[in-house]
A and B are shown apart, each in its own frame.
Chain A
Amino acid sequence: MLGKLLKYEMQAMGRILMPLYGVLLVLSVAFGLSLRQSNQYNTGNATFGSLYGAAAAAVMIVTLILIIQRFYRNLLGSEGYLMFCLPVSTGQHMANKIISATFWIILGGLVGLLSVILLSTMATGPTINFAETIRQTITQAAGSLMQENGSTQSGMIILVIEGILFLVGSCAEIAAKLYAAIAIGHQWSSHRALGAVLAFVGIVIIEIILGNTMSIITAGVDDQAMPIIFKLSSTMMTLTSTTMGNLQMALGLLAGVAFARLAICWFISWILLDRRLNLA
């Protein structure tokens, strides 16, 4: 059933986001070609630049709005009368929404990156291959990191996997946090949108307080890995001066924290939707 839910969720999101991605990519090509013709400020450059900027902003804003709207309208709005009558568990509904939101956040980021590569390639012509430049830069950075830290290729692979897990966990956690706030707001008999906003602010404040408390506690612990988590998350300055082992532990713990937050927000939403569902 989760696969079927995902099929319809992807269709519902994709029918709006895919055309938007197309517009962004077309505008990145148009802006790039416009820059190639004249790299000085003129009406054409300014127009395409503004349109490209607006399309990029639209992709981010519409993705966020759709993630919120699809949860609210599809589960807690009028469509909830259909969705909660399907022979599907609340956990499957939650998983569907979080997987879909994570997918579209990451895809939006990748399309944004692709648009920058297209724009740069179109602006400079075939003399510079930006996709190849990015590939080389990543390879060099990885090689440099391995040399400085004396790490092996397998160590790098673990680091990359941890990085992917951190990225996925963080995106999923953002969605789960939004959903938990909406589910809390829905417990109000009126002004539910206001309730959701206040709930979101409350969750963020609790996260900050817990984060700071943990930081203070762990700063005194005689464990090299723990302070690095906070250095990493705040500045990333210690990246090249740490050992690969510490990096792996820090990134792994960051991913773990993201998944722990995801689990807490998931539980809040699940308990409210499963045990206290009251569709208006």
Chain B
Amino acid sequence: MAMLECKHLTKNYGAVCAVSGLDLSLEAGQIVGLLGPNGSGKTTLIKIAAGLLRPSDGSLFIDGKQPGRETRSIVSYLPDRDFLPAYMNVEQLLGFYEDFFADFNRDKADDMLQDLNLSYDMKLKKMSKGTKEKIQLILTMSRRAKVYLLDEPIAGVDPAARDYILKTIITNYDPKAMVLISTHLIADVEPVLDDIVFIEQGQVIMHDAADTMRESEGRSIDKLFREVFKC
């Protein structure tokens, strides 16, 4: 059974169609790159999978279930914005995640916080944008989830932290889990991707294994992206 499956998925915002009859099936045990230009429907697709948007038509299944209370306990979602309560400090946030997510691994979070030299008593509102993003990613990746939905996970962090984050994503690799990464920084994430989905105007235009795509097209995914979506 597919870990994430879309059947003729459609989402309209008024007259604007963000996702248009999208069909997609993603298996567990791989890191998938969801790649496309701005406004192609990547964030909308991820938000539907996270249960924050309702589809206008069609359906989406996470491990065979429609997004809802049941799937939230197996989906770990990192949005493309600040989403944590700004008045909390890191220690309180760790407590929050421990309280609500049975799969939260406190030891793993502690290790990552120490690796990145992050303070426990610092409030989120006093952190820089990059530090906030690191905290958000640490909390998201410290869950033992079946599906990780990462929307622009490395956009706001420095290149050194990017390498650490990508290493973290690979280290968390679980044959029973699936990681879906949406990003514009393709060159940075390309080495960790197993599967590539190109999306444009709310539809999948290419979907294949990263190695197969590189071999058949004779260039890197980054170069291929630049050609396919050339302005």
Contact = CB atoms under 8 A, between A and B. Distances in A.
A275 interface: yes
A4 B87 contact: no
Nearest to A80: B52
B100 A87 contact: yes
Chain A binding surface, main DSSP class: loop
B83 A81 contact: yes
A278 B54 contact: yes
Given A78-B82, A275-B54, A278-B54, A87 B69 contact: yes
B81 interface: yes
A4 B100 contact: yes
A277 B73 CA distance: 19
Contacts of A85: 50-52, 72, 75, 77
Interface in A55-98: 74, 78-82, 84-89
Contacts of A189: 13-14
Interface string B39-80: 000000001001111100000000000000110110101010
Contacts of A191: none
Given A4-B100, A189-B14, A88 B69 contact: yes
Interface residues of A, number: 24
A46 B108 CA distance: 59
A81 B79 CA distance: 7
Q: Pick the most buried of A1, A8, A74, A85: most chain B CB atoms within 10 A of its CB.
A: A85
Interface in A242-280: 275-279
A85 B46 CA distance: 12
Contacts of A81: 50, 52, 77, 79, 81, 83
A166 B204 CA distance: 57
Q: Pick the most buried of A12, A74, A82: most chain B CB atoms within 10 A of its CB.
A: A82
A85 B69 CA distance: 8
A54 B47 CA distance: 44
A279 B52 contact: yes
Contact of A79 (B50, B70, B83): B83
Contacts of A74: 85
B81 A277 contact: no
A280 to B, nearest CB: 10
B54 A277 contact: yes
Interface string B1-25: 0000000000001100000000000
Contacts of A277: 51-54
Interface of A: 1, 4, 7-8, 12, 15, 74, 78-82, 84-89, 189, 275-279
18 contacts: A74-B85, A80-B52, A81-B81, A82-B84, A82-B85, A84-B50, A84-B51, A84-B52, A85-B52, A85-B77, A86-B101, A87-B69, A87-B70, A87-B72, A87-B100, A89-B69, A277-B53, A277-B54
Closest 3 CB pairs of A and B: A81-B83, A87-B73, A81-B79
